[in-house]
Chain A
Amino acid sequence: GDSVTQMEGPVTLSEEAFLTINCTYTATGYPSLFWYVQYPGEGLQLLLKATKADDKGSNKGFEATYRKETTSFHLEKGSVQVSDSAVYFCATSRRTTDSWGKFQFGAGTQVVVTP
């Protein structure tokens, strides 16, 4: 079945460090790929997305590229800030033939950025 695997956290970084969060997925066909972010005490909000192979999603200095050959969608940011402290979720979404569709979220990776 569909699954999303993210690196376990917490990931602790100093301000201005480089951040990478690995995400790999298993799914039939060509799912859409998403990164959502959850700040403390809030619901999830979309950070970026990519809907086809080799697409790059970007937002707020974060980037991720849809790699079909490695079934990956790793999240990167060149210089993190304390305000980037949050839980990050990788997710997939795809059409299915036997039901309405399939949505899958990873377990989430907590990122802590210290001054």
Chain B
Amino acid sequence: DVKVTQSSRYLVKRTGEKVFLECVQDMDHENMFWYRQDPGLGLRLIYFSYDVKMKEKGDIPEGYSVSREKKERFSLILESASTNQTSMYLCASSLGPRDWGETQYFGPGTRLLVL
């Protein structure tokens, strides 16, 4: 079974802090994704990566950056956390490359609260 793990289930940070969310997948997938999930808005894509060191902006990349130094690990970085970044963050991976019928496998999510 594919396993996608996220470093924290719950996180509380202060405004202005730098925040790292880590995601690891164990199935040698090419593609990895970061979404945020908000009530009434569903999932919105922040960034995705189709290869090591490669990344593409999603629909809402402002205020976020990402890093993919190894194939299995995809990090989401909030350079200076703000209260409007309080949300549930979901990481996902898919086999790839460029197969748009592929299933995405999701981690359990990190609920981030920015005070």
- Asked if A93 is at the interface (CB within 8 A of a chain B CB), the reply is yes
Chain A residues with CB under 8 A of B58: 103
Given A95-B98, A107-B41, A108-B42, answer yes or no on A43-B103 (Cβ-Cβ < 8 Å): no
Q: What is the number of residues of chain A that contact chain B, defined by CB distance less than 8 Å?
A: 26
* Residue among B45, B101, B106 making CB contact with A103, cutoff 8 Å: B45
Give chain B's interface residues, CB within 8 Å of chain A: 4, 33, 35, 40-45, 48, 50, 56, 58, 90, 92, 98, 100-109
Q: Are A43 and B101 interface neighbours, CB within 8 A? A: no
Q: Are A100 and B48 interface neighbours, CB within 8 A? A: yes
Give chain A's interface residues, CB within 8 Å of chain B: 4, 31-32, 34, 36, 41-46, 49, 51, 89, 91, 93-95, 99-101, 103, 105-108
* Chain A to chain B contacts (Cβ below 8 Å), 15 pairs: A4-B42, A32-B100, A34-B103, A42-B108, A42-B109, A43-B4, A43-B90, A44-B104, A44-B106, A51-B101, A93-B101, A99-B56, A100-B48, A101-B100, A105-B44
